[in-house]
Amino acid sequence: MLQKLYSSRFTPERNYQIAKWTFFVIALLLIAFAYVDVGTISIGSNNYNLSLIRLNKAIAYTIAILGLQVVIGYTGQIALGQSFFFGTGAYISAWLIADHSWPFLLTLLIVIPSCFLIGMILGLPALRIRGLYLALLTFGLAAVFPSIVKLDKLYGYTGGAGGKLTSNYKFIAPSWLPFDEVAQALQKIPLLGDFFGDGPLSTREESRLWKFILFSLLAGLCFWLVHNLIRSRPGRAMRAIRDNETSAAVSGVNLALTKTLSFGVASALGGIGGAIYVAEIGIASPDDFSSLVAIYLIVGLVVGGVGTLPGAVIGGLIYALVPDWASSTQSISFVPERWLQGPTGSLILGVLLIVLTLFLPGGIVMGWRKFKNKLLGKELSTAR
Amino acid sequence: MDLFLQRVFDAITNGSTYALIAVAMVLIFKATTLINFAQGEQAILGAFAVLQLWYWGIPMWGAVIIGMLFSAVLAAGLERVFIRKFDPADHLPLVIITLGLFLVINAIAAIVWRFDPQSFPQLFPSGNAFTYNNVRLTWYSIFAFGSCVLVLVVFQTLLTKTKIGLAFRAVSSNLESSRLSGIKIGPTLQFGWALAAAAGTLGASIYAANPVLQIEPSMMLRALIFSVSAAALGGLDSLWGALIGGLTIGFVQSVVVQYIPFIPNEMSLSAAVVVLLIVLTLRPSGVLGTKAVERV
Amino acid sequence: MTTPLLRVERLEARYGPVRVLHGIALNVYEKEIVVVLGANGAGKTTVLRSISGMVETSGLIEIGGESIKKLNPSEIVRRGVAHVPQGRGTFPELTVEENLKVGAFIRNDKDINNDIETCYESYPVLYERKTQAAGSLSGGEQQMLAVSRALMSRPKLLLMDEPSLGLAPQIVEDLFARFVTMNQNQGTTMLIVEQNAQLALDIAGRAYVLESGEITLEGQAEELAKDDAIRRAYLGA
């Protein structure tokens, strides 16, 4: 790996990669400063909010969907119960923050190993249960999570039906970060400066910005780790199981170990996502982790693209934005009001799920790659 | 003792309705080894259609029959458009499609009929058939159980005595030989989907007609979990297993959970999932199901 | 010369990127028993599956002078082709009688029950077990049931995929003797693919040898049985 990096240090390919990622990070920061206060896009009489709150939620979903990529996309096990681990991570983190005044990052040290372990243990039956049966069981798991946290016996830990507030913990940006300076510099840009608000940032805005940067870094770390995992030996074993379980087994892949590892990693990622979710909205409440959430995460997985890493980002964004924007849509001409007031977001996500499975099985990412290859192919042929 | 008896009666009531949804899942599983996650939503949509027809002045049982026909036709259409093009051996796309149908049907039901619970008309005579001290056996319980048995008898007859029923069973037994015997696979499975949806709609209508319940779009989600456990317990490919599974789950829900002190009341759903876990781990073919023979 | 009942020309078939048949030609005339010999993986099964419409093919396949290439399996059955697939072509969960009824699925006439009776007369074992699940029969009995099931559609042409597979030698002999009787009494035309060359050549009129998706030899069965290459490759001589 190192050898490869070294030898390709000065190739155009590597320069392209560096430029791409630098551009990506700058774009992310610009978005962060632009939407630190709620930004509103108006189409017709409808207002759509784009704010860091939504983006932070999107990051939480993205990491949970990344977990689904590992277990469904790369290992081929139909595990539908990601909301269970999303919820478990959320509640563990909330409990540590609210009752033990732990800082957020420190809670991850408990969330990650415990979700990993629970995922591995719950994954054990999956060594015997395959395919549809596993789908059934994991869906059942997702369905029972809210009733478990509502148990009277667990009231002290979970806060019952009312949920667990974590607003005692404030995200305070380290003082050495030059948020104000950057904001004011951006505001001075001619023409575009208006996008970046006015004057220095308030404490709330700074805290929001800090959360976004922190969560983005966490997400980046998760992506880097998963990226390396699927290219490593256990990752190859996972893909072998996905493509053909029997031949993987006869080629010496340890099915039990690989599958439980995959479940563990997926659950740990689900847990991290849940912890971020709670850190963003400030409360863990039972109905935020219902089986509907499990299905929405699957929507994110499929719409982004099963078995692709960037697909998780697209999936997270879609999950965070589509239902929200659907409920902000108050009127569209020719569409009866009734159809905009109900669970329109759910309807759109369901339609997306079906349409993509029927017509674009690789999701948006694969569709984009195909499109790009087509373009590049054409360019090549004209150049010749 | 009285309390116990009362709970057994409750178990029969709940169990029968779970069994009806479970039968629907079993029919589809039998032929295609597919679990239709949208089964419960299709059923509740059918029950809402029944309610709508009744509002329009159609007599109750007429509405139920038209509602069953409606959902059968709808299911046949869904099978043709969304299911048939996929390879039945590749489970992931099919699971995803049925999850998509789940979301869409659930949303449409909620948009058209709103989330507010509405009372569902009585399907059966009200009052008690039998009272003893504090124990009451309602007519509703008797009729719910009776309808379940009746549906099973009708399906059993349909599957064993008619040509399409024979074709359906042939397809579930040996796909390749069915094709080589001139059976058209697609329409045969479509028939299964239609039959399943009709059973589901009847099940959801009976469930909603329970005097202590009201109909609302998400009421089937819980029932779906109970029904899935019932179906798995009975063996996913056995019709009568669905009834036995349904009654057992009903029994676990209203008797076992009530009598074991350390299991709190709200845990009945979890109990159903635990039953599912145990069955799938220890005996995936269920109690009455046929053991799958792996041919090489 | 009369038109053959089955005419296959330039038949090519592929599974995904792998081509398994490379332009095969074979004919089966009415009332004939024709055998296709070949080792494992030579493409024997694919030949039959192509005729039944179960795989994508290119080339020409005709039944009685009419192309059946564009038809799907259920329509090909209705043109008079019955196919006993490899292994057990039965429905294990259905009773013996139901198996036979499924065989007659494409028919609507009144003679179905008569045909079932006729079948029971020739195979009393099946009559004794008519209400039992087919899966409970022995291997030989299941193969008989599979053949009977195929005959219930009153086919013009019966395709059989390795009927001897997994059966004890005595049972195979009995089974093949019945094929001869069927052919002589009812005039059933058969195309059998086999690895068991000895018995197959005994009962066949003509034979083809299939190697790696190509026909390498064809001729009268008696002559092929004397051919040195065949004797070495398939008869263990």
CA-CA distance, B171 to B187, in Å (whole number)? 11
Query: Is the minimum CB–CB distance between C83 and chain B shorter than 8 Å?
Result: yes
A contact test, residue of B96, B97, B116, B218 with most A CBs within 10 A: B96
* Residue B134, pLDDT score: 79
**Interface contact flag, A135 B280, Cβ < 8 Å:** no
Q: Please say whether the beta carbons of A110 and A275 come within 8 A.
A: no
For residue A384, pLDDT over 50 is answered with no
Question: What residues of chain B lie within 8 A of the CB of A65, using their CB?
Answer: none
Is position C148 within any domain? no
What residues 127-146 of chain C have any CB closer than 8 A to a CB of chain B?
135, 146
Burial class (CB in 10 A: 0-12, 13-18, 19+), A353: buried
Residue of B nearest to C101 (CA): B166
For residue A1, pLDDT over 80 is answered with no
Q: From C181, C187, C201, C139, select the one nearest C164 (Cα to Cα).
A: C139
Q: How many C-beta neighbours within 10 Å does residue B233 have? A: 29
Task: Walk along chain C (237 residues) and give the pLDDT tens digit of each residue.
Answer: 578 899 999 999 888 778 888 989 999 999 999 999 988 888 889 999 999 998 888 889 999 888 888 888 889 999 999 999 988 789 998 999 999 999 999 988 888 999 999 889 888 889 999 899 998 998 888 988 999 999 999 899 999 999 888 888 888 898 899 899 889 988 889 999 998 888 888 888 999 999 888 888 888 988 888 887 777 777 665
CA-CA distance, A364 to A359, in Å (whole number)? 11
Residues β-bridged to residue C82: C158
Residue of C nearest to B170 (CA): C91
* Residue A383, pLDDT score: 37
For residue A90, pLDDT over 80 is answered with yes
* Residue A382, pLDDT score: 39
What residues 151-170 of chain B have any CB closer than 8 A to a CB of chain A?
none
Segment A98-138, tens digit of pLDDT:
898 899 999 999 999 999 999 999 888 777 777 788 888 89
**Interface contact flag, B104 A354, Cβ < 8 Å:** yes
Q: How many C-beta neighbours within 10 Å does residue A9 have? A: 9
* Residue B290, pLDDT score: 66
What whole-number percentage of chain A has pLDDT above 70? Answer: 91
Query: Is the minimum CB–CB distance between B232 and chain A shorter than 8 Å?
Result: yes
CA dist list (Å): A275 to A145, A174, A208, B241, C87 = 16, 21, 16, 42, 55
Segment A191-244, tens digit of pLDDT:
666 667 666 777 777 888 888 989 999 999 999 999 999 999 999 999 999 988
Gap from B73 CA to chain C (nearest CA, Å): 24
User: Taking the model in full, what pTM does it have?
Assistant: 0.87
Kindly report the CATH number assigned to the domain that includes residue C36. Answer: 3.40.50.300
Segment A145-158, tens digit of pLDDT:
988 888 878 888 88
Give chain B as a DSSP string.
-HHHHHHHHHHHHHHHHHHHHHHHHHHHHHHH----TTHHHHHHHHHHHHHHHHHTT--HHHHHHHHHHHHHHHHHHHIIIIITTS-TT-HHHHHHHHHHHHHHHHHHHHHHH-SS-BPPPP-S--SEEEEETTEEEEHHHHHHHHHHHHHHHHHHHHHHHSHHHHHHHHHHH-HHHHHHTT--HHHHHHHHHHHHHHHHHHHHHHHHTSTT--B-TTHHHHHHHHHHHHHHHH-TT-HHHHHHHHHHHHHIIIIIHHH-TTS-GGGHHHHHHHHHHHHHHH-TTTTTSPPPP---
Is position C97 within any domain? no
Question: What residues of chain B lie within 8 A of the CB of A354, using their CB?
Answer: 82, 97, 100-101, 104
Q: From C83, C125, C76, select the one nearest C103 (Cα to Cα).
A: C83
How many domains is chain B built from?
Answer: 1
**Interface contact flag, B97 A306, Cβ < 8 Å:** no
* Residue B263, pLDDT score: 62
Is position B120 within any domain? yes
Is position C188 within any domain? yes
Q: Where are the domains of chain A?
A: 51-383
Among A149-153, A225-229, A343-347, B5-9, the range of highest mean pLDDT: A225-229
Gap from B45 CA to chain C (nearest CA, Å): 34
**Interface contact flag, B182 C91, Cβ < 8 Å:** no
What is A51-383's CATH number, 1.10.3210, 2.40.160, 3.30.40, 1.10.3470? 1.10.3470
Gap from C165 CA to chain B (nearest CA, Å): 13
Segment B24-66, tens digit of pLDDT:
888 888 877 788 999 999 999 999 999 999 999 999 889 999 9
Q: Which domain holds residue B172?
A: 2-219
What single-letter amino acid sits at B269? L
Q: Which of A136, A151, A343 sits opposite B266 (nearest CB)?
A: A151
Separation of first and last alpha carbons in chain B? 54
Q: How many C-beta neighbours within 10 Å does residue A95 have? A: 22
Per-chain mean pLDDT for chain A: 85
Q: Which of B169, B177, B293 sits opposite C89 (nearest CB)?
A: B177
**Interface contact flag, B95 A135, Cβ < 8 Å:** yes
The complex scores an ipTM of 0.89
Q: Please say whether the beta carbons of A265 and A277 come within 8 A.
A: no
Q: What residues contact residue A171 under an 8 Å CB cut-off, 6+ apart?
A: A104, A207, A208, A210, A211, A214, A279
Residues β-bridged to residue C27: C7
**Interface contact flag, C105 B293, Cβ < 8 Å:** no
Helix (H) or strand (E) holding A111: helix A104-123
Question: What residues of chain A lie within 8 A of the CB of B284, using their CB?
Answer: 128-129, 133
Strands of chain A (E only): list them.
39-43, 46-50, 164-165, 283-284
Segment B237-294, tens digit of pLDDT:
888 889 999 999 988 888 877 777 666 666 778 888 888 888 888 877 777 666 554 3
CA-CA distance, A178 to A166, in Å (whole number)? 27
What residues in chain B have their Cβ under 8 A from chain C's Cβ atoms?
163, 166-167, 169-170, 172-174, 176-185, 290, 293, 295
Q: Which domain holds residue C188?
A: 6-90+153-234
* Residue C65, pLDDT score: 87
Segment A151-195, tens digit of pLDDT:
878 888 888 888 888 877 888 777 777 777 777 777 777 666 666
CA-CA distance, B257 to B254, in Å (whole number)? 6
* Residue A25, pLDDT score: 84
